Structure 1
Amino acid sequence: MLLSIENIEDVLRLEFRKQVVEPGIQDAVTFLRRWSYLSSQVVRLHGAALARIHIPDIQYLLAEIAYGECGSGNKSKIHSKLLLELINQSPNAQLITQQIDPFLAQFFEHTISHLSQMSQDEAIGFIVGLEAPAYDILHLLKQSFIAVDIPEIDVLQSEYFIIHDAVEKEHQQSGHEAIEIIMANGCQLSKIHKGGDYAINFLITMVGNTVVV
């Protein structure tokens, strides 16, 4: 029986590591293509989750995460734009920026539809699950950028990684605060876990090695 949000996050993180991190990235170009697409669309996930939230304090926390993804008021700092700037430093940029496989695009749209019908508790769990493996994903991204011939120093000193190294802890803390608020309103951890599990399976399909592009 899961007794705390930390237990839930650990379980979600371990599943992502087992399915994605341990097998490793077999094709850095494909991984970066998928992540670039997800980065450009991720705010839609936050928006769909936000639409399910009725408590103003939690609305604020989720909107804050989405605002950060959109550059915190600076259009040039939108995270997907910073990611693309880094991708364009690779000699493989043209391959990386090709259109994503239609199956994954359809799967993403299905996830948006499903998320828009979740309960408030499950929607919060989904966002927690989306953020749980953030540091693992950053590590995979660093490896992948180096694999597509971008010097490690350029990767580490890019705005994309400087910003993400700084904000991921804040995003996870916002998720924790949302959980504390909703727990005080009688939420069951099982519902949070259900939403989080859906998010992890979503990530595994989008960026793991389970779908060949």
Structure 2
Amino acid sequence: MIHLEQVEKSFPLAGGRSWVLRNINLDIAEGEFVSVMGPSGAGKSSLLNVLGMMDHDWQGGYMLDGVAVDKLDAKKRQALQRDKIGFIFQHYHLIDDLKVWENLDLPLQYRDVPARERASRVADLLDRFQIVGKKDLYPSQLSGGQQQLVAVARAVITRPRLLLADEPTGALHSGQARIIMDLLGELHGEGMSIVQVTHNEAFAAEAQRIIRLRDGWIETP
């Protein structure tokens, strides 16, 4: 599913460069659930942004589902991202002036999904995530845990091949975090490839494999 070869990212500094990612070589299989861990500043979110094509300023090789991402122009990268990837952000990134159901419907509109199918998918996820009663509320009317549930639902409503999660439980209390992790486990069980960044050792261990970063390098066991 994912093949990274000598991926590096840096920023220019007076008299040198500040390295964020160094010589990243990584393979993630189709349907694999992987956790990425490391101290603050280790490069975790930077790696996730490269995988999710949120960041294009890096060097090296990146194959996603057989496509050479590093060879694509911006328009083709955007199309690949739209078709293959779902992203759960740490701070939700819901649209404040859209209701819950509208936040879920919007990604499907971008993909030109017919209205009847959009309505069906939205209804299914509202039911699955037990937020039917919240569908006409705005994000500001929801708790943090409820907002994160909506964010997860929005990320998976397009049925992406790859789900990237940046600290999906970081701002939640233990009960809400458990709900999110159970949902990730269900999605993985259905065949979705998942890469999550987390500081929580217990939640990281629920993945099939843990990748540890330090100072931009992947640590060897």
Structure 1 length-normalised TM: 0.29
Greater RCO, 1 or 2 (C-alpha within 8 Å, sep 6+): 1
Structure 2 length-normalised TM: 0.29
More helix by proportion, 1 or 2? 1
More strand by proportion, 1 or 2? 2
Which of structures 1 and 2 has the bigger CA Rg?
Answer: 2
